[in-house]
Amino acid sequence: MMGVQGLYSLINASQIYQDVCFRDSRLVIDGCNLCYLLYYDSGLDQNHGGEYAAFEDLIGKFVKALKDCRIEPYVVLDGGTDITGKKLDTLKKKAEQQIQKAHAAAEEGGKENIMPPLAKKVFKQTLAQLEVPVAQCFGEADREIAALASEWKCPVLSNDSDFYIFDLPAGLLPTPHFQWEAVERSGSRRESFIRCKSYTTSSFCTLFNIQPQVLPVFAALAGNDYVKLQELTSRWARSAQAGSRSVGRLKELLRWLKSFQQPREAVEAALRLMGNLSRQREEEVLQGLSLGTEEYQLPASDLKQFFTDGTAPPLLPEAVGLVPDWARLPLTQGRLTDDILDVLLLKRIGLGPMVDHGSLPSAHLTSRPLRQVMYGLLLGGGPSVRVEESDREDLGLSSCMVRPALRGVAEQLKLDSLDKAAHSLCHRVFLEAVGVKPTRLSGLPPHLRLPVAVTCYWVREASPPPDCSLLQALMLGLVTGETQRERVGNRALQSEKTHCSQKPDLGVVHAYNQWQACMKDSIHLNQLLGCPLPEPHIARLYQGPLVHQLVPRLRTGTTPELLLNSDPTSIQLYRDLLAAVLESQETTALSAAGREENFCSL
């Protein structure tokens, strides 16, 4: 589902919401919608790769507000891409728009709402750490969210316009009106609550005088993914009065629907309005409208049992035989990326845009060899097997057929039994993929071994090769994240981020985009292998404004020791991390370029 354009504006302009003091209830949350809302509305950095620690803290505050009001959150996330392909054109257009916005943000410094590369991973990991129940669907989440809320008779928290169409017994709480930051107390017991607004389809149907059973037809006619209805939508757009064209079009459509009692009547009348159609076109429109309205008929919830007893839901019919049974539970728990579903079912994957200049190569190219290993584990290494990667090329969207890589010890692993593979074997596969020897990591804290291994890979594979200041700043950022993790903090470093301008240094942002792409794909590979390396605390790995501000200071002679405020523990950790990268045989390009001497004063 892609939503009904203009519906949110139409409803906001109408007196349809009910004021609610919300508490003591379950709440089913549209996870992707909440992730975007929290990050974009918070003013956090978007142009330097993200402020993940601050995002983690924000998520914690949101969850605390719910629990203070005895609200039980259940977060449901989207999974793989729709397998029918009906939205492929829409998704491509959206990706192209995002590429343009990402370029504008890099060039001009404005906020274009481009999600930092690791933000969604921080969101999932933080919810898990806070013990918030989370489910990742095998496909789109909208129907699963609505079905679960319907069975539990609790509201949905979202800003997706599709939830204005589903018949939800306890209604919808639109996220823009959910005042979680201002928890209030009332009554003799001073019980906490959150002020919000509630929407129900019955209020909508009463206001616009249409039958509830006709509401899905309204949605299908107004914004249908299965069949394009320009013949009809242009008719209502022409009838609309001055003002918002999309809102006016929806009002005209609602006026037209008043006279129908049943969905079939409205669909047949819509066909007549389209004039003389060929039989093929009539069947196409009829099938498209039927499928569009069926999307809003709620099935029994597949997630209810998962949330109550941890049982993984059944696979989609088209996934049976392609997705191994052992993967169902970790996919539902969000411990495996949903990209796995796209690779297995579609042999296709979309690589999200990053704030980067369009003249530079995509940062995802650096981490492609890591994805190829994941493709090999998922699909095998047959000569004809390819995965279509959609990625930025200049300022456009391009596709490339990528061959899976299955070599070395990875050839000993089979997808159907990957969950039973020996830990030591999976560990070797991961380290072979990043090109790092185990001895380079043995003296480091376990949770920092993966970030250091990825950094070794990045130093070797990034283009252009990162200079010493970029590496030093990155290591200083890891140290800062570690001290924050221990709640020690480092004032000297933390104070830097407040002075970082919105417009990024293009060379610095491109280098760190490559590092984040490597980190993201390494985490995915590590998860698929059963986490032979401990998964790092993602929110503490990288603080964009901080590391961007450190680079020019290091380039002009400021020493890491000074930046670390001469704290012995932090300095020692910094030296250990940096030494592990520099001493790796895989970083010979760095020393060959004559840069290693700049690191002598560890």
Same domain for 88 and 227, yes or no, is no
Q: Which two tokens stand for residue 261?
A: 């009692």
Same domain for 380 and 404, yes or no, is yes
Same domain for 409 and 445, yes or no, is yes
Give the C-alpha separation, 63 to 130, whole Å: 8
Domain assignment present for residue 270? The answer is yes
What are the residue ranges of helices labelled H in 17-153? Answer: 31-41, 52-68, 88-108, 119-129, 142-152
Q: What is the pTM of this model?
A: 0.93
Same domain for 424 and 551, yes or no, is yes
User: Domain ends where: 163, 191, 207?
Assistant: 207
For the chain, what is the domain count?
A: 3
Same domain for 30 and 80, yes or no, is yes
Same domain for 117 and 70, yes or no, is yes
Range of the domain at 561: 347-588
CATH number of residue 92's parent domain: 3.40.50.1010
Give the C-alpha separation, 373 to 527, whole Å: 13
Would you tell me how many other CB atoms lie within 10 Å of the CB of residue 447? 15
Q: At what angle do helices 230-239 and 263-273 cross, to 10 degrees?
A: 90
Domain assignment present for residue 337? The answer is no
Domain assignment present for residue 45? The answer is yes
Domain assignment present for residue 374? The answer is yes
Beta-sheet pairing, 172-174 with 71-77: unpaired
Same domain for 14 and 42, yes or no, is yes
pLDDT at 585: 47
Domain assignment present for residue 197? The answer is yes
Same domain for 105 and 60, yes or no, is yes
pLDDT at 86: 76
pLDDT at 521: 98
Domain assignment present for residue 314? The answer is no
Burial bucket for residue 366 (CB in 10 Å: 0-12, 13-18, 19+): buried
Give the C-alpha separation, 453 to 449, whole Å: 6
What are the residue ranges of helices labelled H in 69-137? Answer: 88-108, 119-129
**Quick check: bond before 464 cis, omega within 30?**
yes
Domain assignment present for residue 522? The answer is yes
Domain assignment present for residue 482? The answer is yes
Mean pLDDT by 10 residues, the chain (602 residues): 78 92 98 96 94 97 98 96 82 94 95 96 98 96 97 97 95 97 86 97 96 93 66 57 70 93 90 81 82 89 96 91 96 97 96 96 98 97 92 97 93 96 97 95 95 97 96 96 62 50 90 98 98 97 96 95 91 95 62 42 45
Same domain for 255 and 186, yes or no, is no
pLDDT at 596: 41
Give the C-alpha separation, 265 to 268, whole Å: 5
